[in-house]
Amino acid sequence: MLGNLVRYLDSVVARDPAPRSRWEVLLYPGVWALFWHRIAHGLFRARLFFLARMVNHFSRFLTAIDIHPGATIGKNFFIDHGFTVIGETAQIGDNVTIYQCVTLGGSNPTNGVGGKRHPTLLDNVIVGSGAQIIGPVTIGRRARIGASAVVTEDVPEGATMIGVKARSTLVKAETWAKDFMPYGTPCKEPCEPVGNQRVDELEEQVAALRAQVQALVDASHEASERAVEKPSEPACKGL
């Protein structure tokens, strides 16, 4: 039991540069939210739904994190800061990291499979602050959900998603996302190189169109000037 706790605290320290020791991690609201959720989830599985809800509400009061007792959570789950909501049928794999103000929300139950209406996050997923993942979608292993992204469709393994509605940055998984990436998005280089390339292409097209328009204007002016300079022929030529 103690060994498992130490391994969990070490996994948090490895992902968060802020704590100077394991003792600091023990003060994190995300750690306490997970602790109380383990109890609530055990009660939920024992069909003691009211008691499970009581523990859930007590945990939410203490931590500002709302994890439904029915949610299934794997090993080394880390919520950095708080104000996160995780729905009843959400499934979270191992070594998943979620930053503040994230919602793993539900959709219309009729859209789910077997009543599932909340997301599934596979192993080593990182979800940036403010992201909203809605519905029974699956987030592939090592995927990164950028800050404030809104995800409503499945995300492939290793993809980095940004924007509203979220779209892939098209950064190759073998280039990025091999190791843990703080905050879920690459920041040293542009997040969306294809987008920057597209902007450059559009600017080149605009410049080319401007040149073509200017050439047409110049040609029109020259034609007008020649028409004015050319003497008109007599109406009765040859008379």
Which 8-state DSSP code applies to residue 230?
A: S
pLDDT > 70 in the chain, percent:
81
What does the pLDDT read at residue 83? 93
pLDDT > 90 in the chain, percent:
59
- Least confidently predicted of 9-23, 60-74, 158-172: 158-172
Which 8-state DSSP code applies to residue 232?
A: P
Check: CB of residue 138 under 8 Å from CB of residue 123.
no
Check: CB of residue 107 under 8 Å from CB of residue 126.
no
**pTM higher than the cut 0.75:** no
- DSSP string computed for 95-134: T-EE-TT-EEE---GGGSSTT--S-EE-TT-EE-TT-EEE
What does the pLDDT read at residue 165? 84
More confident residue, 110 or 18: 18
Domain boundaries, the chain: 2-189, 192-239
Assigned token pair, 100: 């503040």
Check: CB of residue 131 under 8 Å from CB of residue 148.
yes
Question: Mean of the pLDDT values across residues 192-217?
Answer: 79
CATH 2.160.10.10 for domain 2-189: yes
- Give, to the nearest 10 degrees, the angle between helix 29-45 and helix 49-63: 170
Query: Residue 164: is its pLDDT beyond 90?
Result: no
What does the pLDDT read at residue 102? 96
What does the pLDDT read at residue 179? 67
What does the pLDDT read at residue 24? 94
Which 8-state DSSP code applies to residue 145?
A: E
